[in-house]
Structure 1
Amino acid sequence: MSKRKQILVTNDDGYESEGLLALIEALRPLGNVTVVAPTTEKSACGHSLTLTKPLRFIEVEENFYKLDDGTPTDCIFLSLTKLFPENRKPDIVISGINVGANMGEDITYSGTASAAMEAVLQGIPGIAVSQVYMNSGASIEEFGYELAQQSIIKLVQKIFEGDYPLPERKFLNVNIPPIPASECKGFKSTRLGNKHYGFHAEVHYNPRGLEYYWIGLPRLEWMDTVGHTTDFEAVKEGYVSITPVQLDMTAHNEISILEDWINA
């Protein structure tokens, strides 16, 4: 009889996030789930490790820990050190279900995506899954996480029944459209889109008159693209977007151009 699969789960919305709890519920029938999540929300923390202070595992319940003021990357890095023997790594790492999109260049900010990055750096298959929502979260309130749960179950089963579809140092970035599960058109392989970026930071004053700034959420506005469908386009059309992401950020096509420029 084969051993049950070992699944390591984290997120960047904090250990009490409804998205994380929905993910755990979906995965428990598929294997032994270990959860290590940040104590507080760590959205947009990127692929950051905590190097200037100690961190503590705090057990919430069996196989469920919060990492005191840790980042999602800390959660994966330290879990592999403390919770798993060297010869028995998890079979997969899943980060999410993030409340909000992680599409296009936004994944460079994303703590959700960064946990999956850390997994594949350590030789473990990684998936980042995010629930896109519109209208200040109204779509999540209306539809919940049913489609996200169904999607991740299908993907994990497919991986456990065969092979992870990507080579080393590449992870799957999944974005779920804000629609009922019954209206989803299926999965679509995509590339990262290109987002229009602006500045949104509000200035305020505290009771003593000192100025401070609060960075706001950017709008989901994307450039028109030519070629393979982008993550944004797939989600807009009612598909679950699955993007293969590589950690090598080298602009390979520009290497020869740069060499000519250097030597000119």
Structure 2
Amino acid sequence: MPLALVTNDDGIHAPGLHALARGAADAGYDVIVAAPAGDASGAGGSVRGVVTDGHVTVTEQEIPGGFPAFGLDADPAFIVRAAGQGWLSREPDLVLAGINPGANTGSQVLHSGTIGAVLAGALNGWSGIAFSLHCGLRLPEHPHWPAVTGLLPGLLERLAGRPAGTPWSVNVPDVPAADLPPLREARLCASGAVRVRMVHREPDGMRPGGLQALVSEDYGEAEPGTDVALLDAGHPTVTELTPIGTRDGVTGYPA
């Protein structure tokens, strides 16, 4: 069976990661799980690894389902790159990342470690899907992971028809699978739904000064047909991302 490398940016013990691994196995894939040892949210395409005594620490982990699982002191894109540079005895055929609690939308996907993982796979010629559960800024007590994993077989079938190295981003509303409307293809919104405002705090004698991030969500200004607008209307969305590349003949300088 083809091999799926399953990773995330929330850490090896995140329940969304475990749900995605089970979904990949149910879809007919061999599964190996390799994820950051801790939280690496916001890592984007970082290939940072914490080097101790000349190496990045890898620890075997036990996770539900009994899949081979490893926690690394590294960011998601580092883990995917390592898989393509000799770490694993068998190269993966597919990269699956998530399931991220909270949507990844708009141009802000640049900052997502979940997205960074599948983009790193694309640079290695592996197609991949980054999955996110649209559940607001906090993980609910009972997230609807099956709403995501139930879409996996159909998505994988369609992804197989695309060129090797194709990365997709999929956002799914946090509702029971039976209540999901059809998947819609969506283009990225100019900006994501998550809004961050930085506030400078002066030192007050008890703590040093610094920056505090105030995070909110806003779905009200999205253009029709974008991932933000379609999610707000209740649709799960799929967006094909563009791997890093170049455009010729646009600078006005001779080649």
4+ residue segments displaced more than 6 Å: none
Distance in 2 (CA, whole Å) between partners of 1:135 and 1:77 is 29
State the match for 1:22 in structure 2.
19
Root-mean-square deviation over aligned CA pairs = 2.7
8 Å contact 1:193–1:223 — kept in the other structure?
no
Q: Which runs of 5+ in 1 are unaligned?
A: none
- 1:76 and 2:80 aligned: yes
Distance in 2 (CA, whole Å) between partners of 1:232 and 1:144 is 20
Distance in 1 (CA, whole Å) between partners of 2:200 and 2:15 is 28
Distance in 2 (CA, whole Å) between partners of 1:73 and 1:123 is 14
Structure 1 residues 223 and 79, CA, compared in 2 at 3 Å: closer, same or farther?
A: same
Summarize deviations over 1:127-169 as a string: whole Å, max 9, x none.
11111113633xx43442120111123323x15xxx6243355
State the match for 1:188 in structure 2.
184
8 Å contact 1:202–1:216 — kept in the other structure?
no
Structure 1 residues 75 and 204, CA, compared in 2 at 3 Å: closer, same or farther?
A: farther
Distance in 1 (CA, whole Å) between partners of 2:182 and 2:223 is 22
C-alpha deviation, 1:31, in angstroms? 1.9
Map of 1:22-171 to 2, 5 A cutoff?
Answer: 22-29=19-26, 30-50=28-48, 53=51, 54-61=55-62, 63-68=68-73, 70-85=74-89, 88-134=90-136, 136-137=138-139, 140-156=140-156, 158=157, 164-171=160-167
Q: Which runs of 5+ in 2 are unaligned?
A: none
Letter in 2 for 1:114: G
C-alpha deviation, 1:225, in angstroms? 2.3
Structure 1 residues 84 and 236, CA, compared in 2 at 3 Å: closer, same or farther?
A: same
The count of residues paired between Structure 1 and Structure 2 equals: 244
State the match for 2:5 in structure 1.
8
C-alpha deviation, 1:206, in angstroms? 7.7
Distance in 1 (CA, whole Å) between partners of 2:123 and 2:48 is 17
SS in 1 for 2:32: strand
C-alpha deviation, 1:217, in angstroms? 2.7
C-alpha deviation, 1:180, in angstroms? 2.1
Summarize deviations over 1:214-259 as a string: whole Å, max 9, x none.
3243423463426xx111122122221000000247678xx65x53
The structure that is helix-richer by fraction is 1
Higher mean C-alpha deviation, range 15-24 or range 26-35: 26-35
Letter in 1 for 2:233: E
8 Å contact 1:183–1:238 — kept in the other structure?
no
TM-score, normalising length from structure 2? 0.84
